[in-house]
């Protein structure tokens, strides 16, 4: 954070009293939340398992996609034990459409960890939740504050935006120093009597009123405490988040199809960013040259292929993917080709699936885009 701004806003008790009366701020925010909170199913009756599942599902997936999947997931895997012992295939189907399947595997790992390390009883504080696989500081603070009333701050992008506007912070709130500062600030604001509601109120305020674009300040319950609103600098807060350079990658999806039937080959991939998901064999590289070498290897396996028309584009974390699909029509597995195939694709399972069933077996949106290309020929 810019030193000047940081020093200007360095938190002391005196500063907080000067900025606003903490008790009144929390009271006004909570009064608003009690009337306006978003009606999520996991908020109906607070349940640790439900809070944990919805929290992991909502990371990097929009809520309109999460809601129906969440209901189905809880219906099928209603408790820790059912999640811990869920088979891979079933878990993948329950996670279909949510993306980042590694989160589902970590959830199951987390359930197994709680059974082994905590005798199947959910941990009751932040410092224990942070040890659960797949559970970072944010998830641990959500569960600890909502389910166990621990006064720890939950700071997501919405909360960063709200705080930066409340304090009129126009610089470097996204770096480590800025994030630490905001954490300390929110930690000081949390009322001991209702930390969970306070954290959820801050998130809801950011998501529904103090929005990124066109915040509705006129109906904001905390506008009297808002520095940016009072100084008419809302559009300057927070500063634009610096983008990480995304890496461009080329991918070729290889569709192996039997001539004698309409079956298509899917594998459980064991490498690359889609590892541990079932889908088409992929050749990936950020250098076209390497792709050509891999295509030559397929030719050496004795198979000819046709390049399908149409490109697919896909973004995942910091990867921008441009993909093409090739169709190998005369594929035949034998001990010789299997060896080369294993070396080329690194898979743990292999299945021939009828064309009509493909969409029920694919969970990644990248594979669904490949299927769309295949369906159009």
Nearest to 76 by CA among 90, 92, 65: 90
Spell out the residues 6+ positions from residue 64 whose beta carbon is closer than 8 angstroms to its own. Answer: none
Nearer to ligand SF4, 224 or 313 (CB): 224
Whole-number minimum distance, CB 213 to ligand SF4, in Å?
A: 12
Nearest to 107 by CA among 77, 137, 128: 77
Nearer to ligand SF4, 53 or 222 (CB): 222
Q: How, if at all, do strands 278-279 and 305-307 pair?
A: unpaired
Number of residues that bind ligand SF4 (CB under 6 A): 14
Q: Does 92 bind ligand SF4 (CB under 6 A)?
A: no
Nearer to ligand SF4, 144 or 226 (CB): 226
CA–CA separation, 62 vs 195, rounded Å? 25
Nearer to ligand SF4, 235 or 288 (CB): 235
* Structural contact between residues 347 and 269, judged by C-beta atoms closer than 8 angstroms: yes
Whole-number minimum distance, CB 66 to ligand SF4, in Å?
A: 25
| Catalytic pick among 4, 55, 248, 287 | 55
Q: Give CA angle at 98 (79, 143), nearest 5°.
A: 45
Which pair of tokens denotes residue 179? Answer: 């994030």
Q: Does 202 bind ligand SF4 (CB under 6 A)?
A: no
Among 30, 66, 111, 166, binds ligand SF4 (CB under 6 A): 166
Whole-number minimum distance, CB 189 to ligand SF4, in Å?
A: 13
Compute the chain's Rg from CA coordinates.
25
Query: Which residues inside 106-165 make contact with ligand SF4, applying CB under 6 A?
Result: 162, 165
Q: Does 222 bind ligand SF4 (CB under 6 A)?
A: yes
Nearer to ligand SF4, 29 or 143 (CB): 29
CB-neighbour burial class of residue 155 (10 A; exposed 0-12, middle 13-18, buried 19+): buried
User: Which of the ranges 5-13, 121-129, 209-217, 248-256 carries the binding residues for ligand SF4, by CB under 6 A?
Assistant: 209-217
Among 223, 269, 314, 369, binds ligand SF4 (CB under 6 A): 223
Residue 55 known to be catalytic: yes
Count of residues in the chain: 377
> Interhelix angle for 48-58 vs 63-76, to 10°?
140
Active site residues: 55
């Amino acid at each position: 954070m810019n030193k000047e701004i940081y020093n200007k806003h360095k938190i002391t008790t005196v500063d907080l009293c000067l900025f606003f009366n903490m008790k009144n701020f929390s009271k006004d925010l909570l009064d608003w939340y009690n009337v306006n909170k978003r009606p999520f199913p996991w908020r109906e009756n607070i349940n640790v398992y439900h809070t944990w599942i919805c929290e992991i599902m909502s990371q990097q997936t929009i809520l309109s996609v999460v809601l129906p999947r969440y209901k189905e997931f809880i219906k099928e895997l209603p408790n820790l034990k059912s999640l811990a012992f869920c088979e891979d295939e079933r878990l993948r189907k329950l996670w279909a459409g949510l993306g980042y399947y590694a989160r589902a595997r970590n959830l199951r790992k987390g359930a197994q960890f709680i059974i082994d390390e905590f005798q199947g009883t959910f941990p009751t504080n932040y410092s224990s939740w942070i040890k659960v696989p797949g559970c970072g500081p944010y998830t641990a603070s959500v569960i600890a504050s909502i389910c166990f009333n621990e006064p720890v701050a939950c700071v997501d992008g919405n909360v960063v935006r709200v705080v930066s506007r409340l304090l009129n912070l126009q610089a470097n709130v996204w770096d480590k120093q800025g994030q630490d500062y905001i954490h300390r600030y929110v930690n000081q604001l949390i009322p001991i009597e209702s930390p969970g509601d306070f954290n959820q109120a801050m998130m809801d305020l950011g998501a529904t009123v103090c929005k990124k674009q066109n915040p509705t300040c006129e109906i904001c319950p905390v506008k009297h405490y808002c520095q940016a609103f009072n100084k008419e600098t809302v559009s300057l807060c927070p500063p634009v988040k610096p983008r990480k350079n995304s890496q461009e990658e080329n991918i070729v999806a290889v569709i192996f199809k039997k001539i004698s039937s309409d079956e298509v080959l899917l594998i459980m991939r064991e490498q690359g960013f889609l590892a541990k998901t079932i889908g088409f064999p992929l050749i990936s590289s950020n250098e076209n040259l390497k792709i050509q070498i891999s295509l030559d290897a397929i030719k050496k396996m004795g198979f000819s292929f046709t390049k399908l028309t149409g490109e697919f584009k896909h973004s995942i974390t910091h990867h921008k993917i441009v993909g093409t699909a090739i169709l190998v029509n005369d594929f035949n597995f034998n001990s010789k080709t299997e060896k080369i195939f294993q070396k080329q694709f690194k898979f743990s399972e292999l299945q021939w699936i009828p064309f009509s069933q493909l969409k029920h077996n694919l969970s990644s949106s990248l594979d669904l885009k490949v299927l769309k290309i295949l369906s159009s020929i």
